[in-house]
Structure 1
């Protein structure tokens, strides 16, 4: 990065940090006391606090001058750079900020949640800051990150949250050194300023300070290095064929053991490939990570300087990557590139730019591999099927091919890793795609740190010691016991009753529409708001999801007091010292209990297995009953995270399968269920042949209430209030009354028929009168009758949970 460009990046990232500092109530250095608006410009008083931080930590006169005069470049000793910074700041503010009628108090104003204002109903609901806002906290993966309606989470007279947050930020910034890498500075700003409004006095406080700083840095580099009348170049990349690539695998008996690791490794390999493409481009462009607007789920967007060097680099990367994908994946994966040059007026209408860019990228998808030299000449080569990899069936190999072995190793390392590294000489790379970046996943930082190291799901990243440091969010929860991942057989045995696995596949409904239309009128669909929305979904699905998954698990040891009331589980595992040894079956004991003492908590093992989780979707495997309960928890937590907004919802598919079923086939079943849930109206879950709304509706019973009914029916059976034969007889009555409705596609028509039909009543009343004890008749009747039309789910739950293994 050129010196002037680097100085601009630092100045842009820190130009408004004085707003953070100023809101603590602390005074700036005395040497700025005599300065007036002639020096720092109109509405630029906060620049004095920004300059004070630079003076204290960076000891850089040029940087101090730039941030002090970014509202008044004429007073700067570096006028040209200051004018660029001012223009970038003005463009970013013009794009992001919108005026409100009443003035706010910057010291007490909370950041409003982006999710509360999403609407797809034609008329945009106005963001209500007093309803949903974020607490003033460092970046966290706990529930404290959720938007809240609490009117005043701080007692402002007795508490000074800005002072406390600033003290932590200042300490870490000082520890990072006098000239921290821009990536490190970005990570610190993300950690401490993601919940701070960038403007709150006369503007709606819905843009985080971090987002404004990042956008300003990206724009400043474009102005400085761009050429001609269109200095801004938006570049989009979209990897297509991801689902097919991840799950288009075979499961031969010999390779079944490593299939989950292989799928997880394939999913993460996609993320690494997108990261390698992005960093190849920004290195060639000579810009920082601030120019990466987002990179998630195989889709990235960059804001780069519009010049010949950048355009040449994009063309080179596009050709080399897609040539490699054609060769290595037989065309199953393709990366469509789209680029759009913009002038100032065009970049300020960011929504229009995105629409035009999507069209360009979409047209490129229709011309896949047109940039590659493709030969249609037959080779005449014949190879027996035994000569291909038994997993992917695409590469010639005497056994499992090196690529599939690499995917399995990547998935294995992901389970144990706490550090993510990028640099030269590391384990995993993409040389076959013409990309220089290499990667590794480790449990501890390297003794000799590579160019970049990030902590995984932890914001305590400065200790790593790399030149560039950060943190990343990654869904990596697995059932890990003594460095061994529990097998699917063991997870199935954890299930109560039927020893089966549960597979959950879910994603956000109408995600494309939410990004395209949900934020509101065109001028509100700014860079920062779309980034905030994207990072919000990433925060939940890649970060908080780990916290959520760890609420389900078993204990490998419990003290005598905690063991009281715990369910004891006998688990079995096939072990062998070498691959050619005969497997020896060993048994061990685990315990299931809701809570345990602090000393026993150290023996907790999660039972949910995140196979992948991306920008908006996930695949999780675990004991079938844990998965069923988790599905309901996932929906309720997602609803709370998105401000109970009815326009933002999840759909899910859940299946229960034998543990020896080929995983690819089981996942395909879950995918079919998910598609059925979406086909029947979205915001639904498909399970056990039913497609249910998450909550009760006017004509329909919901997943949450039916699961509660199933748990109550199970308790009645285990408490001997009803017999197992009564449960089976009740199921037969339901089948006779309602099974023929499965062929009806219209949800409301089916629900109406369930409500209207009453032919089952005399049969059900007879069963209750004949088989239920007199003192239990009223309770059982009240439990079953009100929702008997939807009894398949609770009955199936009861039968599976009470079945003897």
Structure 2
């Protein structure tokens, strides 16, 4: 079966199920009998579930985590909370569950179906059906409109979007044949050493360096996933989750998958050793599974735990593919230069570094400090993504995969050499042959894009008042003053606190979900592959999307999201805002997960393990953003 045919059948299957759930007719619906070949794949999702409910229960309603030692005595279930059918939008009324079923359930479903029909008609006008980006756009339409619709086979807590996505993943992992494969492969990745990599900076370039480095690691995970999908001829539906430098993909039979995993792991880590000298590495592992392993609750829990242990053990040998060339791996790096990058401290020379731009926060000196091109590119990446309206373009460039590193390589060149994918960011819709994703725009077709991506991306920008302050009160030289709308510096964030009557300091907020590891391993008694994907997707909606709303509600221009994804966040800003922000985030997260759910599984706690490093950065009198 051709790729175009597979796409066509899966789109028809999605339209069929959307009509069944919403009651709305669509153009392009399959004729009777056309979907017979999909039935064996859908049957793998399980037949032992209760009768399908007319409304989606929150995935957090499936979570129950007793105190340690009380597992046998405490067998209570979390009370149900419900998601009202609605088009995906980053506001509390849409995202947050309710204790009661919607009174206007049928009307809400019909409204979703009508919106989907209009959007699908727009898609048909925007792209040809045989354009591979048409299927990508349909995936994102299903995510936008079916995320809050119930599935049709009965598994509690799983949306219609997750159902369609799982069936499509099984079809692709079976090689596009008309029957499911007997065996599949779970492919899992992790990027250990993230904190060491992100915090390996001096005070010069601190916040731009933090933001650029942390986002580069998000892009690294995205690029590796795309390489896995491309090499194994899979699609976005095969990504079970991808968040926080950690991801899982459902792949084909073991032999083909293992070869791809070993090849990709070697390609990526060889380039990382060249570029950042082992500060972080890619862990990528594969494990064979059967369909029953994925969709039978008790079996999937065992499989997931075994696989998590395998990935954890691999972290102890992150560069194992490179150990057959000890001489190259352990040879001295650099050329014996006396110079080092003023940000990351790696040895540099005139070929792989440039003089650091002076600002009022980098004092004059006899010897101008230097910055390596990679660190400089991280700062530029932070600038490139500072816009609220942002488009990300991804284009496959296989000719760049595995090519030799060059002294002036930045983050984009490094990613392309590791993955064969080129990334670009624009503050207006780009004209390109690549796949365009509108950041934080589920209504992506109106943004002239092929899909959307949630990204916590609140960035404070330099105002005219800031420029006046630096010129008239701080007495900075004109050449040192940043341009309007550049990223606001730590100096200006601290000044914002002082202007509000608080102490002139910048604060740091780190939060994560308590016991999340136990939630995934113990907290969902009937955990399956789909529930795992649903849990991860729900957390991404909060930390990747809704967090933007919370931060902007707190203050317009005094807070900077350095990182948020998976289950944690890292925000810096004028310190007097942070206690209130922490309280607001914690309160909203409790509502998002359902107020009646037991406390142990839903608490966000704050703190910072690397607090001495960050304290050193923040206490510097002159601190470059």
TM-score class, shorter-chain normalisation, is 0.7 to 0.9
How much does 1:154 deviate? 3.7
Q: Which runs of 5+ in 1 are unaligned?
A: 29-52, 59-63, 74-81, 554-604, 667-805
Aligned partner of 1:541 in structure 2 is 543
Q: Which structure's CA Rg is the greater one? A: 1
1:617 aligns with 2:568: yes
How do 1:148-227 residues align onto structure 2 when only pairs under 5 Å count?
148-155=97-104, 160-177=107-124, 179=129, 181-199=134-152, 203=154, 205-224=156-175
Aligned partner of 1:488 in structure 2 is 490
How do 1:557-576 residues align onto structure 2 when only pairs under 5 Å count?
none
* Residue from 347, 355, 375 that aligns with 1:404: 375
1:419 aligns with 2:370: no
SS in structure 2 of the partner of residue 444 of structure 1: coil
> 1: CA distance between counterparts of 2:258 and 2:619?
43
How much does 1:382 deviate? 8.5
> 1: CA distance between counterparts of 2:89 and 2:75?
30
SS in structure 2 of the partner of residue 529 of structure 1: helix
> 1: CA distance between counterparts of 2:109 and 2:169?
27
1:648 aligns with 2:607: no
How much does 1:498 deviate? 1.3
Shift of the 654–512 alpha-carbon distance from structure 1 to 2, 3 Å rule, reads closer
Shift of the 662–290 alpha-carbon distance from structure 1 to 2, 3 Å rule, reads same
Aligned partner of 2:474 in structure 1 is none
Q: TM-score, normalised by structure 2?
A: 0.80
Aligned partner of 1:516 in structure 2 is 521
Aligned partner of 1:451 in structure 2 is 434
Aligned partner of 2:477 in structure 1 is none
> 2: CA distance between counterparts of 1:110 and 1:338?
37
Aligned partner of 2:42 in structure 1 is 89
CA contact (8 A) 1:430 1:437 kept: no
Larger RCO: 1 or 2 (CA < 8 Å, sep 6+): 2
* Residue from 308, 315, 318 that aligns with 1:365: 315
Aligned partner of 1:133 in structure 2 is 82
How much does 1:19 deviate? 4.2
Post-superposition Cα deviations, 1:604-659, rounded to whole Å, max 9, x if no partner, equal x321110111211111111111111111111111111111331221110289x99x
* Residue from 445, 455, 462 that aligns with 1:474: 455
CA contact (8 A) 1:338 1:358 kept: no
The worse-fitting range, judged by mean Cα deviation, of 309-318 and 328-337 is 309-318
The worse-fitting range, judged by mean Cα deviation, of 534-543 and 304-313 is 304-313
CA contact (8 A) 1:231 1:306 kept: yes
Aligned partner of 2:422 in structure 1 is 438
CA contact (8 A) 2:88 2:147 kept: yes
How many residue pairs get aligned? The number is 541
How much does 1:431 deviate? 5.5
1:117 aligns with 2:62: yes
Shift of the 490–16 alpha-carbon distance from structure 1 to 2, 3 Å rule, reads closer
Aligned partner of 1:574 in structure 2 is none
SS in structure 2 of the partner of residue 303 of structure 1: strand
Aligned partner of 1:461 in structure 2 is 444
SS in structure 2 of the partner of residue 403 of structure 1: helix
Shift of the 25–454 alpha-carbon distance from structure 1 to 2, 3 Å rule, reads closer
Post-superposition Cα deviations, 1:321-372, rounded to whole Å, max 9, x if no partner, equal 1112222222221211111122333333332322222232223222221111
> 2: CA distance between counterparts of 1:311 and 1:380?
32
Q: TM-score, normalised by structure 1?
A: 0.63
Q: Which runs of 5+ in 2 are unaligned?
A: 351-369, 401-410, 464-483, 621-625
CA contact (8 A) 1:190 1:210 kept: yes
How do 1:779-798 residues align onto structure 2 when only pairs under 5 Å count?
none
Shift of the 225–15 alpha-carbon distance from structure 1 to 2, 3 Å rule, reads closer
Shift of the 382–117 alpha-carbon distance from structure 1 to 2, 3 Å rule, reads closer
CA contact (8 A) 1:240 1:335 kept: yes
How do 1:306-385 residues align onto structure 2 when only pairs under 5 Å count?
306=253, 308-348=255-295, 349-372=299-322, 373-376=324-327
CA contact (8 A) 2:300 2:527 kept: yes
> 2: CA distance between counterparts of 1:465 and 1:529?
32
> 1: CA distance between counterparts of 2:334 and 2:15?
66
